[in-house]
Copies of this chain bind each other. A is one copy, B any other.
Amino acid sequence: MPKGKPDPASIPDDGLTTRQRRMLPVTAVHTGPGKGKSTAAFGMALRAWNQGMNIGVFQFVKSAKWKVGEEAVFRRLGELHEQTGEGGAVEWHKMGEGWSWARKPGAEEDHARDAAEGWAEIRRRIETETHDFYVLDEFTYPIKWGWIDVDDVVATLADRPGRQHIVMTGRDADPKLIEVADLVTEMTKIRHPMDQGRKGQKGIEW
């Protein structure tokens, strides 16, 4: 069935061998109004974990109530890695509760500052090759709202060392983000149960 075999005529004249092209880092964006943007990113992270990659998840979401299912499973997979050496290491960070590395007890809530701090930390990690596979979940929103400078993001991604894969999710991805990515998928909503007033479902929505 669909194997996505490249047309030999489209093999680029870049002087790279097939093996070298297999080693290129991937920059992916999942955008659009439909479901599955984050879910597909976590699905990709699942494969990466299975290949022994070091996973870093950074959620630019306000509420900690969302996506608890994925978080629980990935934390468990991270424990498995520590206990048995299977798969890769996992770090999972959320802006919603204050980034764990930046917790300032009693500090006033400031989402713009939190988002900028989140990106600054991710940039440091990219520059020092901390992880093999990054999920920047709902990362398009702080960019859209001007809390994170898209030019800084694009420059950091374009110049990053080594072979770090980066997947970003969220609606309304900035055109510059689309431009720097080599894998862009738009999720389009055709029909959604909530349109009919149905409620989120345990095991489906979280």
Contact = CB atoms under 8 A, between A and B. Distances in A.
Given A4-B200, A12-B197, A47-B206, A187 B22 contact: no
A144 B200 CA distance: 31
A4 B194 contact: yes
Chain A interface size, as a band, is 35 or more
Contacts of A202: 22, 51
A114 B35 CA distance: 31
Given A40-B40, A46-B46, A76-B80, 12 more contacts: A6-B197, A6-B199, A10-B195, A21-B197, A26-B201, A35-B185, A42-B43, A48-B69, A53-B203, A182-B196, A184-B191, A186-B187
B43 A70 contact: yes
Interface of A: 1-4, 6, 10-12, 18, 21-24, 26, 30, 32, 34-36, 38-44, 46-51, 53, 60-63, 66, 68-70, 72-73, 76-77, 80, 86-87, 132-133, 138, 141, 165, 171, 178, 181-206
- Number of chain copies forming the complex: 2
Of the candidates A18, A47, A178, A189, the one having the most CB atoms from chain B within 10 angstroms of its own CB is A47
